[in-house]
Chain A
Amino acid sequence: MLSVLICEDDPKQSERLEKIVTDYIMMEALDMKLVLAADNPEQVLNYLDENPKTTGLYFLDVDLQHEMSGIALASEIRERDDSGKIVFVTTHGELSYLTFIYKVEAMDYIIKDVPEEIGRKVRDCIAVAHKRHLSDNGVQQQRFKVKVGEKTRSIDHKDIMFFESSPVPHKIILHMENSQLEFYGSIKELEEVGDPFYRCHKSFVVNKDNIKSVDRSKREIEMVNEEICLVSVRALKGLD
């Protein structure tokens, strides 16, 4: 079950949010429940400490009239509820779009200045969170965990094309469909991740599931995203 938690210091706004949420859950008969409407961040954290298994959808006001801002609260929530869905409720002036996304991996944000929009946005968020929650609990995908900065990112194996060792010592470049991510590590330890990953060159570990074709004369592998990865003579055998 997905729990919904609200943290909003203004009672009027809070009341409005609560009503939208309970009405929508009831109308759609979703497996969700509004468990807490708090007016300060400590209540939320206390709740999570008492109910450590909570997976929540959080609607957080950014400016809480409290020493802890909504963003700081979100960071704390992340520590306790890794897969929780966070939605910020904010005014236009306080909108910190990049921080929402990159610091707390917020799911979305709602702008208070446009009252007509709030209801629709809240309902959208609930629907999306519900769907994601179901897919999270569905078939467990194979995931590759990588530490970037202070955070651990988890990447679906099927999105990974290959790993390449960077010319800079200790850095590895993870190639995906249309993105590249650097992290600290060594090719050796990636080799040990196991299927479908294969050490095909002294500086490459390829995902065999994403190979489009192998050019044996040029000793190159073309991936499904048309990117080229190198392969050594010895490793060619393992690609049959």
Chain B
Amino acid sequence: MLVFIGTLQVLLMVATAQIIVANTYPSFKKIITTIFWGILCALSFRWLGVYVSIPMLIGSFFVLYIPEKNNLKALGGLSYGTILILLSDPVATLMENVLSVSAESQLFYWIYAILLTAFSLAGSYGIRKLVQLFRRKGEIDDKLKKLVVYLGVLTVVVYYLCIYLSAYIGETIELIQLNLFFFFVYLLIAFLAFYIYSKSLRKAYEVKQKEAQQEAMQRYTQELEHQYTEIRKFRHDHQNILSSLDAFIQEEDFEGLKRYYGEKLKRASEHLESNDFKLENLSRIKVKEIKSIIASKLIRAQELGIDATFEAKEDIEFVPADSVAMVRALGILLDNAIEELQEIKQGSMQVGFIRDRNTIHIVIQNSCRPDMPRLHKLKEAGFSTKGKNRGLGLASLVELIGQLPNVTSETLIEQGQFKQILVINPI
């Protein structure tokens, strides 16, 4: 019977590891090797006692390692599988105590075997799902993976060390001290893991930001090229217009000149008012992050058919505020403006950067519905004109700007216009 349990343990070690990390079913050869090694270990229990777990683990490791040659995977699977088995063992024993099965009977072993198998397999399946979830979210970077695996290995080593030591020297004060030491090591590792995790999150966020910026700049460049061709066309027209004017004057045909002016020139000046020239001031914004967020939002607004203009009469070379917070704040404000204009299906929006000596005023204003709720209602947490739980409200914007000590905000609703002004004071 003991041989059976021993063999089962080795089988379970390999099986749980396989479930946790592998994507394929184990080969026939693998199963046979495992069973063979399990029987061998179980038979040697007589001489080795509790230390038999060492050859068990080493054997399982090689079974897992040899086909794929990926030690991280093998170690990770094996260590977490083993932890599961080690955890299932007391649980199974406890349940049998509750069921009051005599520890000596044949039945005890059978139930133990079944419970052990069920718990460890179910547990490893759970871990597998968890790993898949994290992978889907793309939040596992290599460093973190390594750390988790080492943590697992360390846990197994510590666990066995405790078992061996208590078997060897019994429960002594040294053992308790050792446990305390392990506890501190764990704490340290936990902190390290948390640190690395938070860092990788931040990095991922930054990469995403950069990508968005890149994309916005690309669109901006396209827009500029488009404008450039428009200007070339216009210059060409301009030459033509001048030469025809010249012709009218030479012939002193003032009636014709009048007609020509009314028909052609007026239309040309209307052309100047079209969307093509409404964002040209963007070139005065030299802060890349800010230029890209504004370009992307305003180009999108124009694509949605919104009359959106940008104004900056002076170069803005530097904005003395945290760019991540600024970009988020501008993003929220511009989105709000665009959404409102889409909702009311008319009106326009203006965005401007105005420099007054050392202060920069950022103005974002848009037409809004005539029955706009009062400002203090809008600023309440969780309030949105778009119904419950939608959109980032003004409340979160207030929080965001609050972090920036040198930025003050002014919000007003007047004459059907919603106006938000951010004043960036020099530091």
> Contact residues of A with B, CB < 8 Å?
71, 75, 92-93, 96-99, 102-103, 113, 148-151, 166-171, 175-176, 178-184, 225-228
Contacts and interface: CB of A to CB of B under 8 A. Distances in A.
Contact of B402 (A103, A151, A167): A167
A6 to B, nearest CB: 22
A5 to B, nearest CB: 22
B167 interface: no
B425 interface: yes
Contacts of B361: 102-103, 149
The 9 closest A-B pairs by CB, nearest first: A179-B412, A98-B352, A149-B359, A182-B408, A227-B376, A168-B402, A181-B410, A149-B423, A178-B413
B402 A179 contact: no
Contacts of A92: 269, 272-273
A179 B372 CA distance: 13
Contact of B421 (A102, A167, A184, A228): A102
Which residue, A167, A179, A184, has most C-beta atoms of chain B within 10 A? Answer: A179
Contacts of A97: 311, 350, 352
20 contacts: A92-B269, A92-B273, A96-B311, A97-B350, A98-B352, A102-B354, A103-B354, A103-B361, A113-B269, A150-B357, A151-B356, A168-B403, A169-B405, A171-B408, A179-B410, A179-B413, A180-B375, A182-B409, A183-B408, A227-B376
A166 B405 CA distance: 11
Interface string B313-352: 1000000000000000000000000000000000000101
A96 B312 CA distance: 8
A97 B313 CA distance: 10
Contacts of B408: 148, 171, 181-184
Contacts of B402: 166-168, 171
A148 B365 CA distance: 18
A149 B356 contact: yes
B127 interface: no
B423 A180 contact: no
Interface in B241-299: 269, 272-273, 277
Contacts of B365: 98
Q: Main SS of chain B's interface residues?
A: strand
B379 interface: yes
Interface string B401-427: 011010011111110000001010100
A93 B272 contact: yes
Contacts of A170: 405
Contacts of B277: 93
B363 interface: yes
Contacts of A148: 408, 410, 423
B229 interface: no
Contacts, number: 89
B106 interface: no
A182 B313 CA distance: 25
Contact of A150 (B352, B356, B403, B413): B356
Contacts of B269: 92, 113
Given A171-B408, A180-B379, A225 B374 contact: yes
Which residue, B356, B405, B411, has most C-beta atoms of chain A within 10 A? Answer: B356
A99 B356 CA distance: 10
A175 B350 contact: no
B358 interface: yes
A102 B361 CA distance: 8
B374 A150 contact: no
Contacts of B363: 98, 102
Contacts of B356: 75, 103, 149-151
Contacts of A98: 311, 350, 352, 354, 363, 365
A179 B419 CA distance: 9
Contacts of B311: 96-99
B359 A150 contact: yes
Given A148-B423, A179-B411, A102 B359 contact: no
A99 B361 CA distance: 10
A178 B375 contact: yes
B357 to A, nearest CB: 5
Nearest to A172: B408
Contacts of A103: 354, 356, 361
A166 B311 CA distance: 31
A98 B269 CA distance: 22
Nearest to A225: B374
Nearest to B365: A98
Given A149-B423, A179-B412, A227-B376, A99 B358 contact: no
A178 B412 contact: yes
B352 A179 contact: no
Which residue, B354, B359, B363, has most C-beta atoms of chain A within 10 A? Answer: B354
